[in-house]
């Protein structure tokens, strides 16, 4: 899909269209901001040129025999466009409407990954997997010269021009970003990412831009790990590195002003709540889906479980110790005041102490778990029931004879309030039940605005308000005193909300399937 967004208004979609029957690899506007060319890998065609407002065709993108990786449009008249492809060619178009003019095949011997016109339109640069940089006449497409032969030792993935049209920047798999003088073909500056002398696939630089609207000459590159590197001429290291998630965030928790998030490929990040900056948690992380986190009470330790069937510990923002096998696919994890950590699989409550498995208690159909500071353990089941266990005298869960009213669907998540007065149970059909722990009666069943599975629940420090997240993409804040009222943030995260947490100052953090973290100011409590 290609979507055109309103960048100055309320961010609505102005156009949405399936341009080709496959993935889109690149898009480019013309200098009049009227036409767009989108390219990629399709069955009937690999690119299309259209007007942004109506989607009408204004040309034909042809001449390639393999997928098209890149496209750029000349910003000055006469209008020209160029595309680069896996077939090793750069195709030249004249317009508008854009029509095939020439196929340049002698310059590159391998995949072409980037093409870019200079802002004044006098030159076109192309780069590719053969480590070559070529310059062409921006009006005729005639090849002019090869620049810096052999300067990059890896595939060149991107190219972008400075606003003065005299210099351009390239990025490569050799972990470097380089600035070139277009007139002399000389390299004027180089940045090498990662640790000196260490070759890392994640430090490969796969995208680059030299934003024309800035006066400080900022260059931004993106590496294979998804980090954005802010580069300024004269500085040998990035002035800033923006880190985060590239995949769906599947779990989150807060501990000591730090938000911990995990995504489905196993990446775990620690976010400074005050600044919003993230850093990747180093060490032996999960190898796939991070299912849940729990913060150990009164200690700076975080426990996580993942679908690599392990429990792991984070201390000082580093994975420590060795991974402990759970013996099945973990659903959730809870740290108790007795120093033990409890996790549930479908058929067991598994107990750990200092990352060592202590014992396993057989159950049937467990889905979720929560621990209270008073020594209680709540376990939710797919038969709609919740069972309460005592762990105050022993690490071994002792079943209690409390009959809790069953939910209307399988229990999906549980959370005790900090004061221990309430237990909130999220249900797979979007309902939330709140139980009073004094007699285990239902305090309220009116928290029912969600329309899909409740994925996460969190209480504020007072224990009188709770926030919930759901696969319906919405976040709600609820009140025990006024169960019929709620504060809502609709469509908070595309593809669902997977984590919520309270922070100081009446604020809520949320994470979800769109790989973002959002901070909300709650008003009207």
Q: Are 259 and 295 in contact (CB under 8 A)?
A: no
| pLDDT the model gives residue 488 | 95
Is 519 contained in some domain?
no
Q: pTM of this prediction?
A: 0.87
Is 85 contained in some domain?
yes
Q: Are 381 and 366 in contact (CB under 8 A)?
A: yes
- What is the per-residue burial (b if ≥16 Cβ within 10 Å, else e) of 276-310? eebebbeeebbeebbbbbbbbeeeebbbbbbbbbb
Is 489 contained in some domain?
no
Cα(194)–Cα(68) distance, rounded to whole angstroms?
30
| DSSP summary character for residue 275 | T
| Model pLDDT for residues 186-216, shown as the tens digit of each residue | 999 999 998 887 888 999 999 999 998 887 8
Q: How many structural domains compose the chain? A: 1
Cα(421)–Cα(336) distance, rounded to whole angstroms?
16
| pLDDT the model gives residue 65 | 95
Cα(286)–Cα(309) distance, rounded to whole angstroms?
9
| pLDDT the model gives residue 203 | 95
In the chain, what's the furthest Cα-to-Cα distance? 85
Is 490 contained in some domain?
no
Q: Which helix (H) or strand (E) holds 304?
A: strand 301-306
Is 391 contained in some domain?
no
Q: Could you tell me the CATH number of the domain that includes residue 55?
A: 2.130.10.10
Task: Pick the closest to residue 289 from 225, 344, 332, 228 (CA basis).
Answer: 332
Q: Using CB atoms within 10 A of its CB, is residue 317 exposed (0-12), middle (13-18) or buried (19+)?
A: middle
Cα(72)–Cα(31) distance, rounded to whole angstroms?
11
Q: Are 73 and 79 in contact (CB under 8 A)?
A: yes
Is 188 contained in some domain?
yes
| DSSP summary character for residue 296 | P
* 3-state DSSP percent of the chain in helix, strand and coil, to 5: 0, 50, 50
| pLDDT the model gives residue 79 | 95
Is 217 contained in some domain?
yes
Is 475 contained in some domain?
no
Question: What phi and psi values does residue 481 have, to the nearest 5 degrees?
Answer: -70, -30
Domain that includes residue 64, residue range: 2-242
| pLDDT the model gives residue 298 | 66
The list of the chain residues with pLDDT below 50 reads none
| Model pLDDT for residues 33-56, shown as the tens digit of each residue | 999 999 999 988 999 999 998 899
- Give how far Cα 89 sits from Cα of 105, 125, 346, Å: 5, 13, 54
SS3 at position 203 = helix
């Amino acid at each position: 899909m290609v979507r055109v967004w309103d960048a100055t208004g309320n961010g609505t979609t102005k156009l949405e269209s399936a341009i080709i029957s496959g993935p889109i690899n690149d898009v480019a506007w013309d200098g009049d901001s009227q036409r767009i060319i989108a390219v990629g890998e399709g069955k009937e065609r690999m690119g299309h040129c259209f007007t942004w407002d109506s989607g009408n065709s204004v040309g034909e993108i042809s001449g390639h025999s393999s997928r098209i990786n890149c496209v750029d449009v000349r910003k000055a008249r006469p209008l020209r466009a160029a595309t680069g492809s896996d077939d090793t060619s750069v195709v030249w178009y004249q317009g508008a409407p854009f029509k095939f003019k020439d196929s340049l095949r002698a310059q590159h011997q391998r995949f072409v990954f980037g093409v870019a016109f200079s802002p004044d339109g006098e030159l076109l640069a192309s780069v590719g997997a053969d480590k070559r940089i070529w310059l062409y006449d921006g009006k005729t497409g005639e090849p002019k010269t090869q620049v810096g032969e052999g300067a990059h030792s890896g595939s060149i993935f991107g190219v972008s021009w400075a606003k003065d049209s005299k210099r351009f920047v390239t990025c490569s798999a050799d972990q470097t970003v380089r600035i070139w003088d277009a007139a002399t073909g000389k390299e004027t500056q180089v940045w090498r990412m990662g640790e000196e002398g260490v070759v890392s696939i994640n430090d490969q630089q796969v995208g680059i831009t030299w934003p024309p609207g800035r006066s400080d000459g900022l260059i931004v590159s993106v590496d294979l790990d998804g980090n954005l590197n802010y580069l300024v001429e004269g500085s040998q290291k990035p002035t800033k590195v923006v880190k985060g998630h590239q995949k769906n965030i599947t779990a989150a928790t807060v501990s000591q002003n730090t938000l911990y998030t995990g995504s489905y490929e196993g990446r775990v990040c620690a976010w400074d709540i005050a600044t919003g900056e993230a850093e990747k948690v180093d060490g032996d992380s999960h190898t796939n889906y991070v299912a849940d986190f729990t913060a150990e009470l009164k200690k700076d330790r975080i426990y996580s479980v993942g679908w690599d069937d392990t429990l792991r510990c984070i201390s000082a923002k580093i994975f420590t110790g060795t991974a402990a096998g759970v013996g099945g696919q973990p659903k959730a994890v809870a740290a108790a005041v007795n120093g033990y950590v409890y996790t549930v699989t479908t058929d067991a409550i598994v107990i750990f102490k200092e990352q060592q498995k202590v014992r396993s208690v057989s159950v049937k159909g467990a889905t979720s778990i929560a621990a209270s500071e008073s020594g209680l353990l709540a376990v939710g089941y797919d038969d709609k029931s919740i069972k309460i266990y005592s762990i105050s005298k022993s690490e071994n869960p002792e079943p209690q004879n409390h009959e809790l009213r069953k939910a209307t669907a399988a229990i999906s998540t549980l959370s005790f309030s900090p004061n221990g007065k309430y237990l909130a149970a999220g249900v797979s059909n979007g309902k939330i039940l709140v139980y009073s722990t004094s007699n285990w009666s239902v305090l309220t069943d009116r928290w029912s605005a969600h329309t899909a599975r409740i994925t996460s629940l969190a209480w504020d420090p007072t224990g009188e308000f709770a926030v919930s997240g759901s696969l319906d993409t919405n976040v709600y804040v609820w009140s025990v005193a006024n169960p019929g009222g709620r504060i809502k943030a609709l469509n908070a995260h595309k593809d669902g909300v997977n984590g919520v947490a309270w922070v100081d100052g009446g604020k809520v953090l949320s994470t979800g399937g769109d790989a973002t973290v959002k901070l909300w100011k709650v008003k009207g409590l």
